[in-house]
Amino acid sequence: MWPNFSHIYIEEGAEKYPLTDVILSKFSNTFCVTVHHYKDIFNRPQQNFQSQKRSMKLILAVKKDNLVYDGSEFSQSMGHDNFYYNSMILNCVYNCDYCYLQGMYGSANIVIFVNIGDFFSAVVEKLQKPMYLAISYDTDLLAFENVIPLCAQWIEFTRAQPNLTIEIRTKSANFKSIKSLEPCDRTILAWTMSPDEVVEKYEKGTPPLRRRLEAAKEAIDEGWKVRVCFDPVIRIDHWKEYYSQCVQTVFEKLEAVKLYDVSSGVFRMNADYLRKIRKQRQDSDVLYYPYVFDKNAASYPETIKNEMNLFIQNLLLQYLPSTKVFI
């Protein structure tokens, strides 16, 4: 479900980009406010992330530097050497309790960078050798596709760049928004799958497992490469039972041989982000598990982490060869 933004803040200079017109045409009863720089509103001090989540605003801006980042240590590179990610959208329409964005940004408002051509140019500069680019990490790009067709533009761009492979990670069920496109064999559509117990308790606003599976199946049937991600795996009560059921449901709906690959990872987060989130909210037990804070990361203690990884790995190896399983 797409929120009806009451306000759209437009950075000076962003109004001349075609994507701005596309977005504004989708919202008629909206107050438009000009801002000198998007950070004047996005980076204000003392903002309340969860209060803003209840009434998210849209900020349209032009990103001038850092258009491509080196892959994060918290992300899986899936065996790719040249792993990068970018962020054309900051923040997400969903509100997962365990989401690191709450600690990464001061604001829950959504920033969309409208200068997509500059993002393309930045990627082209790095394409002397094969590049793996995650374009939907700090957001859920496919969930936005009805408002701003960024996935479609990235897919068409990728099709024309033989050295480029992109991953579009999502929890949405919005495959229909790109269904009309020809499948691109260097585009991986990656669906995060969680047991419904986790979806209902911690992944607020996201589609249930059944709808994500329907979308993934439709994508496979249309000829797309589909990755399934069990990430983050959360140690809730009866987690073994719930994740066993979830994995079984996934492979009942999706033919294992038709999946590109499967990845899994237990909950982990930048330690400073988790500390910051804990200061802001005391309403979700997933944030208060006695995680181990090790250097920069907070996660389960090593023995528990190993137990969880091994359990999920064994579940997955019942359906897939080890070459297709990334833990």
- Where along the sequence are the contacts to other proteins (CB under 8 A)? 6-7, 9, 31, 33-36, 40-41, 44-48, 51-52, 54-55, 57, 278, 282-285, 287-290, 301
Backbone angles phi, psi at 15, to 5 degrees: -65, -20
The C-alpha atoms of residue 89 and residue 113 are separated, in whole angstroms, by: 6
As given in the structure block, the two tokens for residue 54 are 């209840």
Task: Compute the least distance from the CB of residue 58 to other proteins, in Å.
Answer: 12
Task: Compute the least distance from the CB of residue 301 to other proteins, in Å.
Answer: 7
As given in the structure block, the two tokens for residue 122 are 């930045």
Cβ proximity to other proteins: between 163 and 270 the closer is 270
Q: How far is CA 253 from CA 18, 154, 250, in A?
A: 40, 28, 5
Cβ proximity to other proteins: between 11 and 167 the closer is 11
Torsion of CA 318, 170, 106, 236, to 10 degrees: -30
Task: Compute the least distance from the CB of residue 83 to other proteins, in Å.
Answer: 34
Cβ proximity to other proteins: between 191 and 267 the closer is 267
**Residue reference for tokens 């982000």:** 273
**Residue reference for tokens 């240590």:** 73
As beta bridge partners, residue 82 has none
Cβ proximity to other proteins: between 51 and 121 the closer is 51
Task: Compute the least distance from the CB of residue 147 to other proteins, in Å.
Answer: 19
Burial class (CB in 10 A: 0-12, 13-18, 19+), 109: buried
Task: Compute the least distance from the CB of residue 41 to other proteins, in Å.
Answer: 5
Cβ proximity to other proteins: between 7 and 253 the closer is 7
As beta bridge partners, residue 83 has 132
